[in-house]
Amino acid sequence: MTVEIDGVVRRFDAVTALDGVSLSLAEGEFVALLGPSGSGKTSLLRILAGLDFPDQGQVRIAGLDVAQVPARLRRVGVVFQHYALFRHMTAFENVAFGLRVRPRRQRPAGAVIERHVRQLLELMQIPELGSRYPQQISGGQRQRVALARALAIEPRLLLLDEPFGALDALVRKDVRRWVRGLHAQLGLTSILVTHDQEEAMEMADRVAVMERGRIVQVDRPQALLDAPATPFVAGFLGDAARLPARAEQGWLVLEGFGPMGSTSLPDGPVDVFLRPHMVRASAHRPTAPAALVRRLLPSETAHPRVLVEWNGLTMEGYAEDELLPGAPCALGFSGMIAFPRLGPPQAASS
């Protein structure tokens, strides 16, 4: 099912939560809305779900403008972070709820509802949990019940609002991979709201990065890392360190370090963003500016990860030699991302 969001604006008194947001989803696409708290992610999801309405703009689902259509008529499934299951109902009745409360003319027969719910519990791989109450099952199992309930109404669009935030780290990773596989199996158009970039990058076909009520870039996960469109995207994704530098006659020059690489930016102050894989730390050489090894970090590669400090700035990289905490080291850079300076430099962004 296609989704088109066109120029959506939402204001709350003097605060503009959404400032002319536009986004299109192809049928069967999985898109993540990623951004810090207050960027507008949940406001946009609520408008898509019919739980709130825009002050301006259009929302079209399957080509129909639903901007003023109430939630119960949209056939949009929503899964929330804290499940929102009815504690007095069994898992089976929670899943059946959306079908049982339909107007009489649209309500399936009891036998049809029962068969549909059992099929969904099988699909969620929890058929044995139908008779249990939410407090009798684990967090991961509750989230599967919540997902089954969202799917019971046969939604045209599935919305996932921070759905894994209440799960512990190991369960969260397993459940989100399972949900992504389920999405591929069902072919639903899906939108995930999250502030967790690892979650967004792993699950989504495309990621829409939001900042202050606007979508600042939409692209495939790897493209966002390789070619960020703004300094905000460069700093928000990929644990990038932000260093002040200058563009001088086609070169990026870091004070105390010298030329770091070529650039097409005009001469003047710039901010350089360095992701961990761009930073190399090795045994200190007298001819190289000295950095200080702060900590060795766990790594799954042959090169240990290391946290280093240089000129008061802290950055993460990879050690090419055996290094010890507190020891000096030499730094080298392989690739970098640079933008004209728009504000005061910061040591790092996340």
- pLDDT for residue 2 is more than 60: yes
Least confident of 132-141, 224-233, 244-253, 277-286: 277-286
Q: Kindly report the CATH class assigned to 3-231.
A: alpha beta
**Could you report the per-residue pLDDT of 267-325, keeping only the tens digit for each?**
999 999 999 999 999 988 776 767 899 999 987 777 789 999 988 888 999 998 889 99
Global pTM reads 0.86
Question: In this predicted structure, what is the pLDDT of residue 343?
Answer: 58
Go through 104-128 and write b for each residue having 16 or more CB atoms within 10 A of its CB, e for each that does not: eeeeeeeeebeebbeebbebbebee
Token pair listed for 179:
């949900």
Predicted confidence band of residue 238 (pLDDT cuts 50, 70, 90): confident
Q: What's the mean pLDDT in 235-252? A: 90
Question: In this predicted structure, what is the pLDDT of residue 171?
Answer: 79
Question: In this predicted structure, what is the pLDDT of residue 301?
Answer: 73
Rg (alpha carbons) of the chain, rounded to whole number = 24
Closest CA to 232 of 247, 216, 246: 216
Q: What is the mean pLDDT of the chain?
A: 90
Q: What's the mean pLDDT in 1-17? A: 95
CA atoms within 13 A on the CB side of 313: 25
Q: Terminal CA-to-CA distance of the chain, rounded, Å?
A: 34
- pLDDT for residue 349 is more than 50: no
- pLDDT for residue 241 is more than 80: yes
Q: Quick one: DSSP state of residue 112?
A: H
Predicted confidence band of residue 344 (pLDDT cuts 50, 70, 90): low
- pLDDT for residue 82 is more than 90: no
- pLDDT for residue 86 is more than 70: yes
Q: How far apart are CA 242 and CA 230, in angstroms?
A: 13
Token pair listed for 128:
């044995």
**Could you report the per-residue pLDDT of 164-208, keeping only the tens digit for each?**
877 788 778 888 888 898 888 888 999 999 999 999 999 999 999
Q: How far apart are CA 262 and CA 111, in angstroms?
A: 70
**Could you report the per-residue pLDDT of 12-37, keeping only the tens digit for each?**
999 999 999 999 999 999 999 999 99
Helix (H, G, I), strand (E, B) or coil at 134: helix
**Could you report the per-residue pLDDT of 146-155, keeping only the tens digit for each?**
999 999 988 9
- pLDDT for residue 48 is more than 60: yes
CA atoms within 13 A on the CB side of 163: 34
- The domain limits of the chain are 3-231, 241-340
Question: In this predicted structure, what is the pLDDT of residue 103?
Answer: 82
Question: In this predicted structure, what is the pLDDT of residue 347?
Answer: 40
DSSP sequence for 183-225: HHHHT-EEEEEES-HHHHHHH-SEEEEEETTEEEEEE-HHHHH
DSSP sequence for 287-317: TS-EEEEEEEE--SSSSPEEEEEETTEEEEE
Least confident of 103-112, 193-202, 208-217: 103-112
